Amino acid sequence: STKRVKPGDPVGPGGHLESDLAETILAAAQTVAVTNGWGATVAIVDGAGNPILIKRVLNAYPASFELALAKAKASAQYGKPTGNILECSDIPRGGSPLIIDNYTVGAIGVAGQKSTTNEIIANAGVTALSREIDPDNAVKVDVAQDSGAAMDTTAVVSGV
């Protein structure tokens, strides 16, 4: 089972979500957004939901800032993608937890496009985490852009 990181908790070899890793995750999400011409805001939070990085890409609309942060916080707190917590929340898809050694060390939230597109951008960040932690066994997360169903897009990665 996945556990939330509490201040001071050990997280194993992967450690807490460091700012350089958060920058790598954000850069991967930003690349997907820019490549496709999608204006979006990308938020990266720690395991407690505290912001680490937030960036508006391609002049995303200002309101997307708060929504991206809310998605990231919800995903960190629930330890699930926001698309999987819709039954108990009004937060749409586009948030995904960042998990290392079965601990939720943070989350990524994306807003500014339709939910399925936000989810694609967020999944690029999750894939980048997987590649950084364990390049030989990286988990690639793909979601069809127009799939209507919420999908569990969490990449669970063991640190080495």
Question: pTM surpassing 0.75?
Answer: yes
Residue with tokens 């209507």: 148
> What pLDDT was estimated at residue 76?
92
DSSP letter (8 states) at residue 114: -
> What pLDDT was estimated at residue 63?
94
Q: Do 42 and 68 touch, CB atoms closer than 8 A?
A: yes
Q: Is the Cα torsion angle 3, 4, 10, 11 positive or negative in sign?
A: positive
Q: Where is 109: in which H helix or E strand?
A: strand 103-111
Q: Do 29 and 53 touch, CB atoms closer than 8 A?
A: no
Going from the N-terminus, what domains does the chain have, and what CATH number goes with each?
A: 14-134 (3.30.450.150)
DSSP string, 56-71: EESS--TTHHHHHHHH
> What pLDDT was estimated at residue 155?
42
Tokens of 135: 């390049």
Q: Do 39 and 61 touch, CB atoms closer than 8 A?
A: yes
Q: Do 155 and 129 touch, CB atoms closer than 8 A?
A: yes
Residue with tokens 């988990």: 139
pLDDT < 70 positions in the chain: 1-15, 86-91, 137-160
